[in-house]
Every structure is written in structure tokens, then in C-alpha cells.
Amino acid sequence: MKTLVLDEKQIDIAADILKNGGVVGIPTETVYGLAADALNGAAVAKIFRAKGRPMDNPLIVHIADFSDIRRFDLVREIPESAEALAKAFWPGPLTMIFKRTDAVPSEVSAGLDTVAIRFPSHPVAQAVIRAAGTPLAAPSANLSGSPSPTTARHVLNDMDGRIDAVLDGGASAVGVESTVITLAAGTPRVLRPGGVTVEMLREVLGEVDVDDAVLHQLAEGAEAASPGMKYKHYAPKANVILLKGSDRAYIDYVNAHAGDDVCALCCDEDLLDLKVKTVSLGRRGDYLTHARHLFDCLRRMDENKTVRTVYSRLPSTEGVGLAVYNRLIRAAGFEVIEL
């Protein structure tokens, strides 16, 4: 099967494929998604096959209006906290977890009694959901274990021949996956940090917890609140090592370990001082730009077959920095060297 490449004028073709139970790569503001009709279990199962995704890892259901939650009878109740968050951050890079109804196929919820829902802001994502006339289940459109795709080209690199089509809507503006917050029990808790920061969530809700798995490795045998957090993620083929220390200490350490197989995942201000291959995330302290470039940088380093070791600074945990931290610490297998 050849994968069709569609442009923004061909949304109806993508929608027809989806209505007929096919799988289409779609742009969103966070990362590209691998979409299928969320109410069609057989269609959703194809997503797991295309990605090589474990069946116990549930998918996010994408809607094109807050009222779709009721229209498609997806959740048992809408807590007040969800209405407040929707008002503040939807459409946008926030996923909320609710108690689900039986309208949600077991393939989507992976056996949990909850469902994750997101209303994306990307106009092409909204248009294709509307044209399909059904909510779309979509994980990130990468092969399981590789960095999430932020362009249609990235999707094709992983998925060519494995899915029906990819809809090109340009590069994703946020660059890391949505913030996931559960409202299904007790104090709202962030399971995955993203473009909507913990600080922003606290401004709306007051108390918000951050799940242990955001910053730390899960203990052997511990159960993950978000099944995705237990898998090794965002792993480039090279060995990623995080360095904690001053800007000068970072540069000195990397130069002391220079070699043909070494690459620095760095900032613009480091470029002149580093004596190894470099890939820059953007200017120091510009966490939004770092998030936007992160996965493309990881993919570019992988394309350079000689790179075996990648040195990056340990990111800040402030604002969107926490999302970058969460992805890189996993890419590094939680390995940090204190300088």
C-alpha cells in the first residue's frame, strides 16, 4: 500500500478515508497524529498495528468543539474543572481525562474506565475532524519509541506504506505533545507536561498535582497513571547524556570529550565555542523555541549515522521547559552527569 500525500485543499479526501475506516496522518499544533474514527474499534486497531504500539496504551480522542463531548456521548460527567480549563485553553495543547461511557471502544481506552479528550487548535485538524463527522482517535504519528513527528515528512519517514494517507499542514507550532491532566479522580494531576504549563493550569484551578513519573523514573513494577509514561520514549538511536552545570562547564565538558561520533544538542550562543558537531535548539532560555525544535533536532541527529553520543544540558523545569525536560530525560534513560 502506497501512502497518499495530501495538501490542505484535499481535506475531503482525508475525511473520506477516515469515514471508511482508514488511517491518516494529520497535522496538529503539537505534533502530527495518526488518526482513525474513534468510534470504530476496527479502524482504531489499525493505528496500533501501524505504530507497533502496545495495546495497553490508550489513545487521545480529538474533537472539533467542546459540545462534541456530549454530542458523541463520550464521558459520564463533565466536572466544573473541565469547563474552566476548556474555557481557558481549548482549542489548544491540553488533553483532559474523564470517566468514559461505553460509547468509547475498548481499543481507544485500552481497558481503562477513562478517556482522554483534546480539542486541537490547528485549523486543518479541526477541518478534518468536522469533515469526517466523527471524533478522531490519534496518538503521535511516529513509530513506537522514536521521536514524535512535527512535519509531514517526519510522518512519511516512519509510516510510508503503513498508513493510507498523510495530510500536510506545515510544521507543528508547539513541537511537543499536549499537556495531559486527569480530572477523573481527586485533585487534578498532570500526567504529561506540554504547551499548557503547570503554572498556567494552577492559575485556573488553584491546586494541581504533578505526577511523579513526569520528573522521575517509575520504580520497577510500579503502575503508571498514564501508561505511555512507562515506555522508553523519544529515544534517538544515539546515546543521549544530560549535563548539569553552568554554560561554561557544559562547553568545557563537551570539548574535553570531542570526537567524530559526538554531537552537542546546544543553544545558539554555544555554537562558536563548541568543537564538535552541533544541533541547536534555539537561543538560551527560549523554552518555547526549544520545544518547537526538539524532536526535529533529535531526528536530524539520528539521520547523521556517525553520531553515537549526544551531549545536552539538563533543561530547566520552568514553564514549557518542563515539557522539554520530561522528553529529554526519557531520551537519556534518566542519565544525568553533574559537572
Question: Where does this chain bind Mg ion (CB under 5 A)?
Answer: 140
Map residue 167 onto helix, strand or coil: strand
33 binds ligand TXA (CB under 6 A): yes
Residue whose CB is less far from ligand TXA, 22 or 58: 58
Helix residue ranges per DSSP H, 37-151: 41-51, 68-71, 80-89, 106-109, 123-132
Q: Which does 57 bind (CB under 5 to 8 A by kind): Mg ion, ligand TXA, none?
A: ligand TXA
- DSSP for residue 307: -
30 binds ligand TXA (CB under 6 A): yes
Residue whose CB is less far from ligand TXA, 180 or 332: 180
The window from 3-11, 26-34, 210-218, 245-253 that contacts ligand TXA (CB under 6 A) reads 26-34
Strands of the sheet containing 4-6, edge to edge, are 4-6, 165-167, 24-26, 33-37, 136-137, 60-62, 114-118, 94-99, 179-182, 189-192, 209-210
Give strand ranges (E) for 101-226.
114-118, 136-137, 165-167, 179-182, 189-192, 209-210
Report the alpha-carbon distance of residue 246 to residue 263 in Å, rounded. Answer: 19
The window from 56-64, 65-73, 155-163, 276-284 that contacts ligand TXA (CB under 6 A) reads 56-64
138 binds ligand TXA (CB under 6 A): yes
- In the window 166-225, what residues touch ligand TXA (CB under 6 A)? 177-178, 180, 191-192
Q: Which does 95 bind (CB under 5 to 8 A by kind): Mg ion, ligand TXA, none?
A: ligand TXA
Residue whose CB is less far from ligand TXA, 249 or 288: 288
- Residue in the block written with cell 483532559: 96
51 binds ligand TXA (CB under 6 A): no
- Minimum CB distance to ligand TXA, residue 209 (Å): 14
Report the alpha-carbon distance of residue 213 to residue 330 in Å, rounded. Answer: 10
Write the burial class of residue 141 (CB in 10 Å: 0-12 exposed, 13-18 middle, 19+ buried): buried
Residue whose CB is less far from ligand TXA, 181 or 307: 181
Q: Which residues bind ligand TXA (CB under 6 A)?
A: 28, 30-31, 33, 57-60, 95, 97, 109, 112, 114-116, 118, 138-140, 177-178, 180, 191-192, 226-229
